[in-house]
Amino acid sequence: MIRGVLALIPDEFRRFTPRYLALVVLLALSQAAAYLLSVPVLQALFDGNYGDAWRWTSWLAVAVAATAVFGYLQSMVGLRIGVGMLRSVQTRLGDHLSTLPLGWFGTTGSGAISRIIVGNVREILGVFSHLLSPVLNAVLVPIVVAVGILFVDWRVSVAMLISLPLLLVVNRLANVGYSRSNQRIHDAASEANSRVVEFAQAQPVLRAFGATGAGNKALDGALRRQQKASTDAVFASVPGLMVFALCVHAVFLLLVYVVIGRATGGDLSIASAIALIAVSSRFIEPLNQAAQLSNALRSAGSAAQRINTFLAERELAEATAPVQLSEPSIVFDDVAFGYSEDEPLITGASFEVSAGTTTAIVGPSGSGKTTLLRLASRYYDVDSGSISVGGHDVRQQPSETLLGQVSLVFQDVYLFNQTIEENVRLGRPDATADEVRRAGEMARVDEIVERLPDGWATVVGEGGASLSGGERQRISIARALLKDAPIVLLDEATSALDPHSEAVVVRGIHELTRDKTVVVVAHRLSTIAHADQILFVDAGRIVERGTHDELLEQGGRYAAFWGERSRATGWHLAPSTYRSDLNGALGG
């Protein structure tokens, strides 16, 4: 448990760990010394030897002062390590997140990710700031006290040394129930986080269907499960704490019994007996404190385990050797890929996109069209076969080299909660303001900023929530225009746009793809018809390929697809039928 936390300490703070542990030991020794020195102080007072009492009291004051100093120093060092871990671990998690294949995100929700990066990291922060020291003290202080009592009465010392490991075992067994429920708390909290984010982002849809508040069963259910998991954890920990508390008090009564028995037998003076009873109460105090913190420490250990498991997720292998790129072409050679090993999505895909040409990929929904685009930019590694971009296998190119050749425009446009200018500048961060404006004009983003009070400085909201789908797509195209990469991977997203937005976006796409190597998942008939090569994909296989005229002459799957699209384009409601249906619906 602690080993997992220690593994997360950043290198620049590891040198503080021995100092922290040394201060914890010194704190325990000084605290135990203060407890033990109360024995001669009380003996001297009861014996009326005030000179010795003052001398021992002076030493007691030194021990108390040392306890305060060492406690302060270990708190400062622990806080320094904890804050350093907070910054470093979150940075490591963020860097690692950017190296994971996108397939990983399909099985892990945003709630679980945020829970790890925010919640779990804050849990491990508390280990060094306020958890580890009292737990270690709960072991060290009683041991030192028990050893020190050897010089007063060995029988009481032996009773302490025997009872201590028994109490630690009882504490561990008593908390088994909480440890088991900790993972359920994490899972429930992750789901609740995801549902809350979803609830906030999907307000228009939820309100349209009356699924807000108690009507949102998904959110309500997630919050109920989180509440139940937390309640179950409390009920699981309470019996253990009660059992441990009873055992601690039983040990204290045992020590009192031994002391009183020794005193009544004449082996101990009354003063020594009173002092030993006082020390015995100090002996069990750290144990009670540790019992209250042990669940939090175990929770932090589980959090560290989840963080280390996340950091162990397999990254996409990164090439480091530079490559000399040739012309901007793309070659798929017998590519196979699946999001899971037992369910292949792409099988035996082989094709070439020559430099300066346009290849359109068409086919039914779910056939793997968009996946082919993402494989070309190495969003995932292929299961077999190879993909070459610019004359080199994508796995043999540094990510910056590969992605520097490619501009991506997909259907699922995501804008950051920043200004329009910052979202466009993402295409090339070092671009000048004039270059950003020029790309915006080509994509007709200038039309958007003209009607906004803050213009280019308008913040678009999370995911671009304050903009329409067509406006978000224009900004996405402006990004790609600003990047000006020789290869464009385009998943057209104009089918859901109004005629004006579609026309504007199409003009931006024409500017983007001029004199470029283009692979497009095509939805518009004009884009398909003018492509240099058309690939018809079905169930992850390329079943037909050729030009538009060649495929129509074959009369196969593409010809049927083209016919269906053409008929759908010309479909409309007959005015008389529409009026008749409308009048009937209105009752007249």
Q: Tokens at residue 332, please?
A: 């798929």
- Within 10 Å of residue 59's Cβ, how many Cβ atoms? 14
As a whole number of angstroms, the distance between CA 433 and CA 451 comes to: 20
- What letter represents residue 82's amino acid? G
- What letter represents residue 126's amino acid? G
The ranges of the chain annotated as CATH 3.40.50.300 are: 412-484
Beta bridge partners of 572: none
Place of tokens 């989840």: 306
Q: Rounded to a whole number, what is the largest CA-CA distance in the chain?
A: 118
As a whole number of angstroms, the distance between CA 274 and CA 259 comes to: 9
Which one-letter DSSP state was computed for residue 316?
Answer: P
As a whole number of angstroms, the distance between CA 238 and CA 177 comes to: 10
Are 245 and 291 within 8 A, CB to CB? Answer: yes
As a whole number of angstroms, the distance between CA 434 and CA 77 comes to: 50
Burial of 85 (0-12, 13-18, 19+ CB in 10 A): buried
**Closest by CA position to 371, among listed 483, 537, 532:** 537
CATH topology of domain 412-484: Rossmann fold (3.40.50)
Q: What does the DSSP assignment read for 474-530?
A: HHHHHHHHHHT-SEEEEE---TTS-HHHHHHHHHHHHHHHTTSEEEEE--SHHHHHT
As a whole number of angstroms, the distance between CA 546 and CA 535 comes to: 7
Q: Which residues are CB-contacts of 269 (< 8 A; sequence separation ≥ 6)?
A: 43, 46, 263
In order of 151, 240, 414, 474, the CA distances from 459 in angstroms are 73, 52, 14, 16
Spacing of C-alpha 486 from chain mean position = 34
Q: Tokens at residue 118, please?
A: 């925010």
In order of 332, 340, 350, 396, 544, the CA distances from 336 in angstroms are 10, 12, 10, 18, 17
Are 99 and 316 within 8 A, CB to CB? Answer: yes
In order of 88, 161, 247, 368, the CA distances from 287 in angstroms are 33, 13, 11, 61
User: Percentage helix, strand, coil, to 5, in the chain?
Assistant: 65, 10, 25
Q: What does the DSSP assignment read for 317-367?
A: P---S-----SS-EEEEEEEE-SBTTB-SEEEEEEEE-TT-EEEEE-STTS
Task: Kindly compute the dihedral angle of the four CA atoms of residues 439, 444, 448, 450, in this order, to the nearest 10 degrees.
Answer: 80
Superfamily (CATH) of domain 2-311: ABC transporter type 1, transmembrane domain (1.20.1560.10)
**Closest by CA position to 19, among listed 87, 67, 64, 81:** 81
What is the value of pTM for the model shown?
0.64
Place of tokens 């678009």: 460
Which one-letter DSSP state was computed for residue 314?
Answer: P
The ranges of the chain annotated as CATH 1.20.1560.10 are: 2-311
By DSSP bridging, strand 517-521 and strand 487-491 are: parallel
Cα angle for residues 30, 35, 37 (degrees, 5° grid): 90
- Within 10 Å of residue 444's Cβ, how many Cβ atoms? 20
- What letter represents residue 384's amino acid? S
In order of 4, 85, 120, the CA distances from 98 in angstroms are 23, 20, 19
Per-residue confidence of the chain (588 residues) as pLDDT tens digits? 677 788 888 888 888 989 999 999 999 899 888 888 888 888 888 777 888 889 989 998 999 999 999 999 999 998 888 888 887 888 888 888 877 776 566 556 666 777 787 778 888 877 887 788 888 887 888 888 888 888 888 888 888 888 888 887 777 776 665 556 666 766 676 666 666 666 665 555 555 555 555 546 666 777 777 777 777 666 666 666 677 778 877 887 888 888 888 788 777 777 778 778 878 877 777 777 777 677 777 778 778 888 888 888 887 777 878 888 888 999 999 999 987 777 888 999 999 999 999 899 998 888 888 889 889 988 888 999 999 999 899 999 988 888 889 988 887 787 888 899 999 998 888 899 999 999 988 888 888 899 888 899 999 887 777 888 788 888 888 898 899 899 989 886 665 566 676 677 677 777 878 888 999 887 777 678 888 999 999 988 999 999 999 999 998 998 988 888 777 655 554 554 444 444 444 444
pLDDT at 576: 47
Backbone φ and ψ for 253, nearest 5 degrees, come out as -65, -35
Q: Tokens at residue 16, please?
A: 């503080």
